[in-house]
Structure 1
Amino acid sequence: MADDDQGQGDEPFNPFGAFPMFGDIAKALQGQGPLNWDAARQFAMLGATEGQPEHNVDPGDRIAYGELARIAAMHVNDVTGSDDDPPEPRIVTRGQWAAETLEAYRPLFTDLATSLGQQPGTDVEAPSDPMMQMMAGLSQMMGPAMMGMSVGSMVGALSQRVFGLHDLPIPRAKQEIVLVARNIAEFAETWEIPTDQMRLWVLAHELSGHRVLSIEHVRTALADLVRQHVSGFRPDPSAMADSLGGIDPMSSDSDPMEAIQQAFSDPEVLLGAVQSDEQRALQPRLDAAVAAVVGYTDWVVDAVSVRLIGGESLRIAEAVRRQRAEPTPDDVFVEKLLGIRVGEEQVRRGKAFIQGAVDRVGEDGLTTLIETPDSLPTPAEIDAPGLWIARVSGD
């Protein structure tokens, strides 16, 4: 009978039901809530530190960044027409960045986990095969732990290469300037860039990102779009079973272990995160908003960094562009789970949009339009800045 397949009454399906010794484990896993934060924190720190002790930030680095930040802030304010006094930069380790990021985005990740943990609609057909039933039930039961491991691993991996808070244009409740000194130093060494020049470029970028996300209507609109995306998943409990069931261990054409690793690197398999019609309809709006924010930030950075470090700024910008153009598995998670796409195409669209606006209204006119309420461009406007100018200016 149907109740026999699902357990007694309304209790969720327990794939360990035939093995009493695992009963306590099953109950513990099912009582974790939508996301296991202990797992998230542990995997975030493991990814950030690679299991090694972290040294404190060198006090000399803090002093150097503080002095350079005052110079960079003056030029960012001049280019953007702002008179704001930005906060002093905080210099952190990778572990600190990971822990703070996980906490800053906790409401967002909770919404994501709740969306993925909801029961599928009545239009989703339950698997009839016993093995598929077991895999689907196991996936659902393990969901909170898997979600915690996935989110934590993603944040930990990002901490290995971000420069600050604005590599990902996702607003935080607290607007700060936070820099990961080790990543900046290693990037400069890899590309043979003088340390102070690299620091100035990063400061220009972080101060520019801070400036645009300090505009309340821009920050609120972008945050709302991201929240709508993460709340819009329609989970597929059989995603893992379907994917793993398609792997032929006897095939000579591929390595089955490699196929399994690839499957588990895909959020649609690991978490049953299947994009919904609502998310597909929302994605162009989110893409347009992200492109505009990234484009404006990069435009300010280009203008400021030329003043600060001259022609060397072009080489630094090209090195950063190359890093952006090489997506990692973590970028796939960010894109599929959070809807944030910051690849080369997005950057190109954003910079073309901003440059098109500057060509029409000038730098001062651009600043005025950006600060006008409801100024984030629509999907049609991001590729036609003239339409955006007409709407925002009221012409």
Structure 2
Amino acid sequence: MTHDPSDLPPEPQEGPSATPPRDALASSADPNDQGLGGAGGSAQAPAFVDWEFAKATGRRLTPAGPEVSPAEAQEIVAAIRAAAARAQEPVAETSRMHAPGQAPPALVVDRPTWIALNLDSMAALMSPVFEKVAADRRLPATGAGMSVGSKITGAEAGALLAFMANKILGQYDLAPQGTPRLLLVAPNLVAVQRELQVDAADFRAWVCMHEETHRVQFTAVPWLRAHLIERATSLAGDMTPTPSELAARLREVVGRLPDALGSGGGGLADLFATPEQRAKIAEVTAIMSLLEGHADVVMDDVGPKVIPTVAEIRGKFTERRKGVGAADRLLRRLLGLEAKMAQYKDGAGFVRGVTDEVGVDGFNAVWSSPETLPKPAEIHDPAAWVRRVHG
């Protein structure tokens, strides 16, 4: 999970690295925390994507973070960790959701570390898909061809995450085959706070409220993580053609290109999806809208109690989301990031609409089971969800 839409050291290290000031906001990852236990995914994964090459590409392409001294970096990392810890109690109180046990400390990372951890998660998520493709023997590949191909796909994956790495403020990484962790991207928190010219402590607290809400969603609701991973894995498998299916799928894509570039398109996912797959995309999108909207509502509802400048931050942050150039807007549309932005607004409208009718406890019935999650049409019609779930 991310909110709106930094060089990986040889081993992640605690606190800021001993690099020059411009790169001082380095990873604070525990060297014993291996994310998914390595970036290979399944044994077949490296044959299709060279994940280590993807990480190297991401490291090369991601821009350096804002200029801070090593001392400033150490102070900032400590402040972000503290803000994440302080967010736990007000989020639990406001959402009326309580996760069992003690939450592990947030992982404060730089951009390349965020890339590396997300590539590990991507490898695990795509492993079943690669097994499906590998089972299609109609178009055998040579060892040399697969090696070159895996480098190309690795470079593509690394470039994609490098583009996103300077936009992500925080994320609850579901880690499909590992340990989920709350990630906070230190250089981006500093860069956006400086750009908006808002109070640094208040901005850190505000972002941490959003990301802590995601942590609570997935830890207080035992079935939710496995359900979302299963839906995403299933959808990825459905949408990835085997070699023998590829030619026919490409012919279908040509006619959909104008829709993908249009203002209502969901990006490349919609471009390659069949009508049946689009229905599944809509189901997953409804879940994501719920999660993002709920986190936005909680972060703003908590705000006035503990964040004096929350109204100023929300206003400036909302304006910032609108301020992108034409080229950036096209790329965001192709990647589905504009649809991602709509999830915050649509989901927040659903949460507030339901809460207005049945209160917070009535809204929390949404977490009862997969069957009580909102259907795609209900995201825009909260009363329909209330009728279906509450009668």
Structures share fold, TM-score greater than 0.5:
yes
Q: Distance in 1 between matches of 2:103 and 2:128?
A: 31
Q: Does 1:187 find its partner at 2:192? A: yes
SS in 2 for 1:232: helix
Q: Distance in 1 between matches of 2:113 and 2:299?
A: 26
The answer to whether the 8 A contact 2:367-2:373 is kept is no
Q: Does 1:37 find its partner at 2:37? A: no
Match of residue 42 from structure 2: none
The answer to whether the 8 A contact 1:115-1:233 is kept is no
Q: Does 1:371 find its partner at 2:373? A: no
Match of residue 88 from structure 1: 105
Deviates more, 1:344-353 or 1:300-309: 344-353
Letter in 2 for 1:372: S
Report the CA distance shift for 1:115/1:290 in structure 2 as closer, same or farther (over 3 A): farther
TM-score (structure 2 length as normaliser):
0.69
Percent identity over the alignment is 20
Match of residue 391 from structure 1: 388
Report the CA distance shift for 1:120/1:387 in structure 2 as closer, same or farther (over 3 A): farther
Deviation of 1:342 (Å): 4.5
Which of residues 218, 222, 230 in structure 1 aligns to 2:236?
230
Q: Distance in 1 between matches of 2:321 and 2:234?
A: 25
Match of residue 77 from structure 1: 92
Q: Distance in 1 between matches of 2:150 and 2:188?
A: 31
Which of residues 110, 115, 127 in structure 2 aligns to 1:98?
115
Letter in 1 for 2:169: F
The answer to whether the 8 A contact 1:234-1:276 is kept is no
Unpaired segments of 5 or more residues in structure 1?
1-30, 127-137, 246-265
Letter in 2 for 1:35: V
Q: Distance in 2 between matches of 1:171 and 1:190?
A: 34
Q: Distance in 2 between matches of 1:231 and 1:241?
A: 17
Letter in 2 for 1:298: D
Match of residue 209 from structure 2: 204
SS in 1 for 2:223: helix
The answer to whether the 8 A contact 1:47-1:156 is kept is yes
Deviation of 1:114 (Å): 5.7
**1:248-270 alpha-carbon deviations (Å, 9 max, x no partner):** xxxxxxxxxxxxxxxxxx969xx
Match of residue 345 from structure 1: 342
SS in 2 for 1:165: strand
Letter in 1 for 2:387: A
Following superposition of structure 1 onto structure 2, how do residues 60-209 of structure 1 map, counting pairs within 5 Å? 60-84=75-99, 85-111=102-128, 143-166=149-172, 173-209=178-214
The answer to whether the 8 A contact 2:125-2:176 is kept is no
Report the CA distance shift for 1:74/1:32 in structure 2 as closer, same or farther (over 3 A): closer
**1:201-257 alpha-carbon deviations (Å, 9 max, x no partner):** 111111011111222333233222221221122547569999xx9xxxxxxxxxxxx
Deviation of 1:103 (Å): 1.0
SS in 1 for 2:166: coil
Deviation of 1:73 (Å): 1.7
Which of residues 375, 380, 389 in structure 1 aligns to 2:377?
380
Q: Distance in 2 between matches of 1:141 and 1:298?
A: 43
Match of residue 61 from structure 2: 47
Deviation of 1:362 (Å): 0.8
The answer to whether the 8 A contact 1:113-1:147 is kept is no
The answer to whether the 8 A contact 2:174-2:225 is kept is no
SS in 1 for 2:184: strand
**1:354-381 alpha-carbon deviations (Å, 9 max, x no partner):** 11110111123223x1331123111232
Letter in 1 for 2:196: W
Deviation of 1:158 (Å): 1.5
Match of residue 295 from structure 1: 293
Report the CA distance shift for 1:37/1:68 in structure 2 as closer, same or farther (over 3 A): closer
SS in 1 for 2:350: helix
RMSD, matched Cα: 4.0
Q: Distance in 1 between matches of 2:63 and 2:131?
A: 29
Report the CA distance shift for 1:210/1:183 in structure 2 as closer, same or farther (over 3 A): same
Letter in 2 for 1:161: K
SS in 2 for 1:177: strand
Deviation of 1:183 (Å): 0.6
Q: Distance in 2 between matches of 1:177 and 1:392?
A: 31
Report the CA distance shift for 1:316/1:109 in structure 2 as closer, same or farther (over 3 A): farther
**1:330-357 alpha-carbon deviations (Å, 9 max, x no partner):** 645643xxxx874343222211111111
Q: Distance in 2 between matches of 1:208 and 1:323?
A: 22
Deviates more, 1:370-379 or 1:342-351: 342-351
Which of residues 296, 314, 317 in structure 2 aligns to 1:317?
314
Unpaired segments of 5 or more residues in structure 2?
1-44, 255-266
Deviation of 1:93 (Å): 1.2
Report the CA distance shift for 1:142/1:156 in structure 2 as closer, same or farther (over 3 A): same
The answer to whether the 8 A contact 1:72-1:308 is kept is no
Aligned length: 318
Match of residue 304 from structure 2: 306
Deviation of 1:106 (Å): 1.5
Which of residues 211, 218, 221 in structure 1 aligns to 2:224?
218
Match of residue 283 from structure 1: 281
Letter in 1 for 2:158: G
Q: Distance in 2 between matches of 1:197 and 1:221?
A: 34
The answer to whether the 8 A contact 2:166-2:188 is kept is yes
Q: Distance in 1 between matches of 2:123 and 2:69?
A: 26
Deviation of 1:301 (Å): 0.9
